[in-house]
């Protein structure tokens, strides 16, 4: 079992609310990722980070923002949630070295915006 945690696991909020999805890992990994996954669809990378103070946008455009102030913490924020943001959000991390770049996933946050 990977030591990567996400909170909350489930969240139902109204349109226009600001939310922050938390992700923490205790493995000391430099690289962290946020993915978005809709039911029956593939995971899409929305944000990633190489390390502290490093953040980049992924393949899928997202209105969310991320920050990386500490190695173990990689929160994702939506300033004004909309129904189109309803999805599952998965956080992952990987070590910097090693050709396999094995990524370990958290349990996910299921977000519903009403």
Partner 1 sequence: KNQVEQSPQSLIILEGKNCTLQCNYTVSPFSNLRWYKQDTGRGPVSLTIMTFSENTKSNGRYTATLDADTKQSSLHITASQLSDSASYICVVSDRGSTLGRLYFGRGTQLTVWP
Sequence-ordered list of residues with C-beta below 8 angstroms from that of 100, at least 6 positions apart, any chain? none
Q: Which is nearer to partner 1, 61 or 100 (CB)?
A: 100
Q: Which is nearer to partner 1, 15 or 104 (CB)?
A: 104
Q: Which is nearer to partner 1, 59 or 79 (CB)?
A: 59
Q: Quick one: which of 92, 105, 87, 91 has its CA closest to 12?
A: 87
How is residue 28 written in tokens? 């000391």
Q: Which is nearer to partner 1, 69 or 99 (CB)?
A: 99
* Least distance to partner 1, CB of residue 15, Å: 24
* Least distance to partner 1, CB of residue 100, Å: 6
* Least distance to partner 1, CB of residue 64, Å: 18
Counting every residue written for the chain, the total comes to 114
Residues that bind partner 1 (CB under 8 A): 2, 4, 6, 31, 40-45, 48, 50, 90-92, 94, 99-108, 110
Cis peptide before 8 (omega within 30 of 0): yes
User: Residue 47 is inside which H or E element, if any?
Assistant: strand 44-51
* Least distance to partner 1, CB of residue 80, Å: 26
Kindly state the DSSP code that residue 85 receives in the 8-state scheme.
Answer: G
């Amino acid at each position: 079992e990977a030591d990567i945690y996400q909170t909350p696991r489930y969240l139902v909020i109204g349109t226009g609310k600001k939310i922050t999805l938390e992700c923490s890992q205790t493995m000391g990994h430099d690289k962290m990722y946020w993915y978005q996954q809709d039911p029956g669809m593939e995971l899409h990378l929305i944000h990633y980070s190489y390390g502290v103070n490093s953040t980049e946008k992924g393949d899928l455009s997202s209105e969310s923002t991320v920050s990386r102030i500490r190695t173990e913490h990689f929160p994702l924020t939506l300033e004004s949630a909309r129904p189109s943001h309803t999805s599952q959000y998965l956080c992952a991390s990987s070590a910097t070295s090693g050709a396999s770049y094995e990524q370990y996933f958290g349990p996910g946050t299921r977000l519903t915006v009403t």
